[in-house]
Structure 1
């Protein structure tokens, strides 16, 4: 990994992470990601030439002083856990905990993986809140004083320490991350409103008529006892089994104190192929929203990467040192092991690890898969969510 935690950083973060359980929600099927989820769970989709989607939240947690993150998964669980065990559990000081399956990994010798996992018990989760209920012994056991909720498809560079400290100082039931964007794009996100004292007064998922220019960034810190109480109240009722659509509105209606934490840096929720492509092409700007050095290095960490402005038929692209290019590459994110054939031209695209582009090919605005197949990125409908992110960056720059 390219990000390290110094002894001083560990000392500063110890009190903030102490007694907090970091829970990473990774149960989504990712159907809107098309062929990108063929043969792999959504959290393991490569991103930025360096990482997988799930690595951003894990790297943030590690740098924030957490020694462990609890994974709540559902689809292709063993594939996901085997991969995370190899990448994240091989070094001391940080690991991913696999809940009911963790013993199957802990008892193995270093580098080994279980042949098969215990049979999954209980019904499938129907939403993010279900995941907390079905694995309550691992989420709430201890018990921790707070629960930090993270997501497996968010791309950002963030230190959770200040957010946790603010949560504790305010004695809030919940502190949620939020950002300010142009109001015309708020309908694509969860809208939030606060009073003059900074307390949440309104939370609406994808509002038809926005009344605020603030949106939820989805990661948040709950008081453990309060979260448990509302999950118990909602379980068995006619609800959507979701944190954003059920738990937070119920807490708000119940008069709980809910605070906000402003996220000033870049944050991206990757939900469609179009947003996946555009979010990576944004990394090629003169001033990228997420610098290359801020991205976790988990895919072939032995291969150096750099942003190349102009050199040997490569222009304005992130490229690894092992790329073999006999064509022209412009405004692309290129992963290790890529081969580009004679007189091929690739523009505004992402080339996944080991992808081969045949001689003479013409590829634009697409993802070149590991097996060489090409997936064009159709614009999102009815609205292009990436425009909201561009507007968001412009708003911050003012």
Structure 2
């Protein structure tokens, strides 16, 4: 069945709520868990579900995402599998940027037309979850659905942040409302006993859709509507068979700095809700990095990626990304350090020391708490970050503060002795 499916991963818009992490990269290109990119999640879910024809639609700050996909997803010469980038482009029939999720797919339909397929699986590029799409596709076919929407039961307090669906006894979606603020009671749907026990009685759209090919072309070519969630889906419910595929596993929409931060630190739990150590592992770029070297460091509930040189005294509930260098007597707590794209040579480190400027990485005797350290940063000795009272939100040349989380910007230089 999956041989009849083509998948489209939406690269997202400007990602302003994830700034400054999206200042120079798109949301799907943001590094997670020290060695992956967000886009690796939907692509890996597809590959584990035997869906291996995948388009990634990109627009904003797409260079690093394009490079990652080019360097990562290679298939046999004799295979029909591919992960291809479709960037927003000017054509004789379309001169503008993608105006929304539906418009992005509409402008890309001519690229799909050369392939044989019956179903289109549409995914978001900025969510963290593990799902077997084969089961969803099977239900779609068996129920003779025109459109299937993956839904997840949520608590009443979460309802205002989602598109909420109402279903009947056969999982047919009978109504849809976008982010309601009041009157939740009438939107209660039938959920499993386990979800009822947790008070998760409302079905939220996960932004994961299956369309029959013919219907998708009809819907997108017959009007100029730009968004699936706000326009296409609600208006399709009355005239077409739209079915809910209920998912009850871990899923989070990484749209804000706090949600991104908690999703990453949650990976350090003894048994994390999102399990990196599962048979359905996450695919990413294969790097020929040396193993990590740790000296004199007390590690507690932390994830350390490849190629690091660590001399810190303490690393607690933190993720340390690839090629990270951390100096002597440094303490790291509740942090996500993204790492570096390259190593400095011994000569370059010595030259930096002689010039009195920080080397790449984190220096000696630093104390860093509740922070995200973006890639390729230069943090000197005796630096203290987020060690006292909660900082007010604000954006500064080398760092940003969001909800008490300090984000050190990509390539920022933090001189020795700095206190943030």
Normalising by structure 1, what TM-score? 0.79
Alignment of 1:134-173 (within 5 A): 134-142=107-115, 144-173=117-146
Are 1:370 and 2:375 counterparts?
Answer: yes
**Distance in 2 between residues matched to 1:367 and 1:127, nearest whole Å:** 30
Residue 58 of structure 2 is matched in structure 1 by 73
**Distance in 2 between residues matched to 1:305 and 1:95, nearest whole Å:** 31
Residue 366 of structure 2 is matched in structure 1 by 361
Task: Please state which structure has a larger fraction of its residues in helix.
Answer: 1
1:73–1:41 distance in 2 versus 1, CA, 3 Å: same
Are 1:270 and 2:254 counterparts?
Answer: yes
Larger CA deviation: 120-129 vs 143-152 = 120-129
1:304–1:207 distance in 2 versus 1, CA, 3 Å: farther
1:296–1:305 distance in 2 versus 1, CA, 3 Å: farther
Residue 97 of structure 1 is matched in structure 2 by 84
**Distance in 2 between residues matched to 1:133 and 1:45, nearest whole Å:** 26
Of 323, 330, 345 in structure 1, the residue corresponding to residue 316 of structure 2 is 330
Residue 301 of structure 2 is matched in structure 1 by 316
- Give deviations 1:40-83, integer Å, cap 9, x for gaps: 22211110123100001111111111222012211234442232
What is the alpha-carbon root mean square deviation over aligned residues?
2.6
* Residues matched between the structures, number: 341
Structure 1, unpaired ranges of 5+: 1-15, 102-117, 381-398
Residue 340 of structure 1 is matched in structure 2 by 326
Residue 228 of structure 1 is matched in structure 2 by 217
Structure 2, unpaired ranges of 5+: 189-201, 341-359, 379-397, 405-420
- Give deviations 1:261-303, integer Å, cap 9, x for gaps: 1112211211111111111111122220111224414255545
Give, in angstroms, the shift of residue 224 of structure 1.
1.5
Normalising by structure 2, what TM-score? 0.75
**Distance in 1 between residues matched to 2:133 and 2:291, nearest whole Å:** 27
Residue 276 of structure 2 is matched in structure 1 by 292
Give, in angstroms, the shift of residue 119 of structure 1.
6.8
**Distance in 1 between residues matched to 2:211 and 2:274, nearest whole Å:** 27
Of 25, 44, 48 in structure 2, the residue corresponding to residue 59 of structure 1 is 44
Residue 391 of structure 2 is matched in structure 1 by none
Alignment of 1:179-258 (within 5 A): 179-209=152-182, 210=184, 211-212=187-188, 213-235=202-224, 239=225, 241-254=226-239, 256-258=240-242
Give, in angstroms, the shift of residue 91 of structure 1.
5.4
**Distance in 2 between residues matched to 1:301 and 1:293, nearest whole Å:** 19
**Distance in 1 between residues matched to 2:155 and 2:46, nearest whole Å:** 29
1:329–1:375 distance in 2 versus 1, CA, 3 Å: farther
- Give deviations 1:166-208, integer Å, cap 9, x for gaps: 1011111111111112111121122111011211012222111
Please identify the structure whose Cα radius of gyration is greater.
Answer: 2
